[in-house]
């Protein structure tokens, strides 16, 4: 990857974090999972298992099947 591509990807991640924060504010969704997402997208770390649901090739509950009431 070129330095320009890396810089653009970092900017895109920063934009994603801003979008998440804005949506949290507008929806009054301010739970632990939302803050976990903000923390994750605000750091340089990569976690292959960040998503709370299985990857496309795995079985398990998808986002629409998760119980958001468990958010604390």
Q: Where are the alpha helices (DSSP H) in 1-72?
A: 3-27, 32-41
| Among candidate residues 20, 62, 66, the one with its CA nearest the CA of residue 39 | 20
Q: Tens place of pLDDT for every residue, the chain, 72 residues?
A: 899 999 999 999 999 989 888 888 888 777 888 888 889 988 889 998 887 766 665 565 566 665 655 554
Predicted local confidence at residue 8, as pLDDT: 95
Torsion of CA 39, 20, 51, 65, to 10 degrees: 140
Predicted local confidence at residue 1, as pLDDT: 83
């Amino acid at each position: 990857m070129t330095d320009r591509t890396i810089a653009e990807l970092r900017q895109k991640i920063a934009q994603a974090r801003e979008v998440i924060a804005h949506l949290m504010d507008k929806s009054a969704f301010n739970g632990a999972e939302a803050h976990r997402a903000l923390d994750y997208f605000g750091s340089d770390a990569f976690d292959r298992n960040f998503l709370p649901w299985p990857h496309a090739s795995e079985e398990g509950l998808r986002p629409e099947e998760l119980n958001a009431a468990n958010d604390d």
